[in-house]
Amino acid sequence: MSIKSEKILGRKRRRELSPRRSSKLLKTRNGISGSRMGKFSYMRLKGSQNLRLRLLLSTLSSTPILIDDIRADATWPGLRPHEVSLLRLLEKVSDDCVVEINETGTKLKYKPGIVMSGRHLVHDCGTSRSIGYFLEPLVVLGLFGKKPLSIRLKGITNDSKDPSVDTFRSTTLPILKQFGVPSEGLDLKIESRGVPPHGGGQVMLSVPIVDSLKAITWIDEGMVKRIRGITFSTRVSAQFENTMIHAARGIFNRSLPDVHIFTDHKAGEQAGKSPGYGISLYAETTSGCVISADTAVSYARGEDEGELEDEKKELSPPGDVGEEIASALLDEIEQGGVVDSTHQGLLFLLCALCPQDVSKVCVGKLAPYAIEVLRHIRDFLGVKFVIKPDPSTETVILKCVGCGLKNLSRKVS
C-alpha cells in the first residue's frame, strides 16, 4: 500500500471515530461513557481510605484511577493483603483489566475492564479480612456482567469486623430484590465455616445478570413483626449456641413473642481451622424491610495486621455476646429507616445505578461510611442526592435521579 493510500485510510478512520460519530462507541459495555481508546485520563486519588468503594465505582463507571500515598507514612506501607486479593478478584471476573502496583505498594494504577463473570470460578480471600468484605462489590458487579456469576469464595465467613455471610444471605440479598433483581439465580450457600485467625470457610455465591435496576420509592419502614437469626459454633461446645440464644431471647421476649433463632454447629472439615462462635440476628417488618446485627468471637489475628489490633484478645462469654447483639439490633430498629446502618452505603449505590428516574429512600442517622459513599457517587457517577432530615421521626429522606446504568455486555440469547 502506498503512503498516500495509508494517509487517506488514516483520515477515514479518524472521521469514523470522531466524537459526533462515535457517541455509541464511546459508551462502555456497562453503559457509562468512558475514555477514548488509546488515551486514558486517570482520576487521581490519594490515600488508602475507601479503596474497595473506589475500585467498585471505577469498574462500574469505566473510569481508570491512579491512587498515590497508600499508607506511605505507616510502619508497614502500601496495600494490605486483602486489598491485593480484591484486585486479583476483579481481574478474575473482568476481561482486559489492568492493575499496576509499584514496588512499595504505595501507588496503584487501575484500568477497569469488561465484567465477564462466568461459572465455576474460585477465589481465596485470605485471612486478612472476611469474605463479607468481598461479597458486596462482587454482587453488584455480577449484576452487570456478560454472563451469570457463580463463584466459590474461601476464607473467613464470620468475624467481628465485616458483615457475616449469614447477614448477607438474610439481609443484603432481599435489598437487591427490591431493585428488581430476580430471585432465581441469586443465592449464597454456606458450605463450611471459618473464623479468625486461620479461616477455612467456603461459600458459593450465585448472581444473575440484569438489563438495568428498577427505581424505587422505599420510605415505609413498617413495624417489626418477627425476629429471626442463627448462631454458629466451630471447634467449641455446641452449648455455647444455646447460651447465646437464651440470652438474646431474654432481651426480645419483653416486647416481641415471635422470636426464633436457629443453631448451626459445625464439626470436622466444615468447622474450618479455628475455634469460634457467633450470632446473626435480623428483624422483619410489616413493609418488607430487614434490619440486621451480627458478630463473631474468636482468637485475634496475628499482630502483623496493624489495623486489626483492636480485636479482642480473650473470648467473650457467649451469654454476653447474645445480649450484646440483641441490644445492637434493637438500637438499629430504634434508629429507623428501611435498612440498618451497615447497608446504607449499598442502598445509596443501588439508587444511583437505577434508570434516569427518581428514587426515594428513608434511612436512620447517616453512618460515616454512607456519607463517603454519597461523595464518591457524586465524583464517579455524577449523581447527587437531595437530603432532607425528618425531625419528627429522626430519620433522613434521600432522593436522586439515577445515572441510567445499563448492562450492554449482557449476552443476547
Whether the predicted pLDDT of 17 surpasses 90 = no
The confidence score (pLDDT) of residue 411 equals: 55
The confidence score (pLDDT) of residue 26 equals: 30
Amino acid at 404: G
Q: Which of 302-311, 347-356, 381-390 has the lowest mean pLDDT?
A: 302-311
The x, y and z cell numbers of residue 111, run together, are 484500568
* Spatial CB neighbours of 70, under 8 Å, sequence gap ≥ 6: 47, 48, 51, 77, 78, 79, 105, 106, 107, 108
Whether the predicted pLDDT of 21 surpasses 60 = no
Q: What is the mean pLDDT of residues 51-59?
A: 98
Write a three-state SS string for the chain: CCHHHHHHHHHHHHHHCCCCCCCCCCECCCCCECCCCCCCCCEEEECCCCHHHHHHHHHHHCCCEEEECCCCCCCCCCCCHHHHHHHHHHHHHEECCEEEECCCCCCEEEECCEECCEEEEEEECCCCCCCHHHHHHHHHHHHCCCCCEEEEEEECCCCCCCCCHHHHHHHHHHHHHHCCCCCCCCEEEEEECCECCCECEEEEEEECCCCCCCCCEECCCCCEEEEEEEEEEECCCCHHHHHHHHHHHHHHCCCCCCEEEEEEEECHHHHCCCCEEEEEEEEEECCCCEEEEEEEEECCCCCCCHHHCCCCCCCCCHHHHHHHHHHHHHHHHHHCECCCHHHHHHHHHHHHCCCCCEEEEEECCCCHHHHHHHHHHHHHHCCCCEEEEECCCCEEEEEEECCCCCCCCCCCC
Q: Rounded distance, CA 377 to CA 47, Å? A: 18
The confidence score (pLDDT) of residue 313 equals: 61
CATH class, 116-298+316-401 region: alpha beta
The confidence score (pLDDT) of residue 90 equals: 98
Whether the predicted pLDDT of 29 surpasses 90 = no
CB 281 within 8 A of CB 322: no
The ranges assigned to domains in the chain are 41-113, 116-298+316-401
Whether the predicted pLDDT of 10 surpasses 80 = no
User: Average per-residue pLDDT in the chain?
Assistant: 89
Whether the predicted pLDDT of 1 surpasses 70 = no
Q: What is the mean pLDDT of residues 115-140?
A: 97
Tell me: cis bond preceding 163? Omega within 30 of 0 counts.
no
The confidence score (pLDDT) of residue 254 equals: 86
Which residue from 276, 93, 264, 138 is spatially nearest to 191, judged by alpha carbons?
A: 264
Tens digit of each residue's pLDDT (9 = 90 or more) over 279-332: 999 999 999 999 999 999 999 876 434 444 444 467 899 999 999 999 999 999
Looking at the structure, give the CATH architecture of the domain made up of residues 41-113: 2-Layer Sandwich (3.30)
The x, y and z cell numbers of residue 3, run together, are 503512503
pTM for the complete prediction? Answer: 0.88
- Contacts of 12-17 with C-beta under 8 Å, sequence gap 24+, read none
